[in-house]
Amino acid sequence: MNLLRWTSLVTIVVVMTLVGCGGGASSGDGNTTADAATETATVAVFCGKCGAEKGNESCCAADGAVCESCGLHKGTKLCCAALADEAKGKDICSGCGQVAEATHTCAVDGVKCEKCGLHEGSVACCKLKG
């Protein structure tokens, strides 16, 4: 991995750790880490409380318009994504589509879905808005 990529990844992890999105017991804190056994692409984590990208100023914004159907903020990637019950309210990784717990990393050996690019069988496979 080249130095620029490594520096960028470390910066993103630090920012995600410091900024967060309101956290909570049922949602991971959205940290992503990388090592030799993980994908090195930069990924976003979508907040299980509002549906926006964690660390973004719109994440859990008090003035965000709430969708009547799903309860997340309208227009976010997770709004009305029809996630399985075990994934509702939890942070979702945009790199693989799995629930992003506190120390989540994307598995390198995950089979990518040809339609959406997330890992086949993940909770968000073919469910995130473009």
pLDDT digits (tens, 9 = 90+) for 37-83: 444 456 899 999 999 999 889 999 999 999 999 999 999 999 999 99
**H/E stretch holding 19:** helix 3-19
How confident is residue 25, by pLDDT bands cut at 50, 70 and 90? very low
- Which segments of 1-130 are extended strands (E)? 45-46, 92-93
* Count of H-run helices and E-run strands, the chain: 1, 2
Position 27 scores a pLDDT of 40
pLDDT digits (tens, 9 = 90+) for 90-112: 999 999 999 998 888 898 888 99
How confident is residue 125, by pLDDT bands cut at 50, 70 and 90? very high
> Alpha helix locations (H) across 20-106?
none
Position 35 scores a pLDDT of 43
Plot region of 121 (φ>0 → left; ψ -120 to 50 → alpha; else → beta) = left
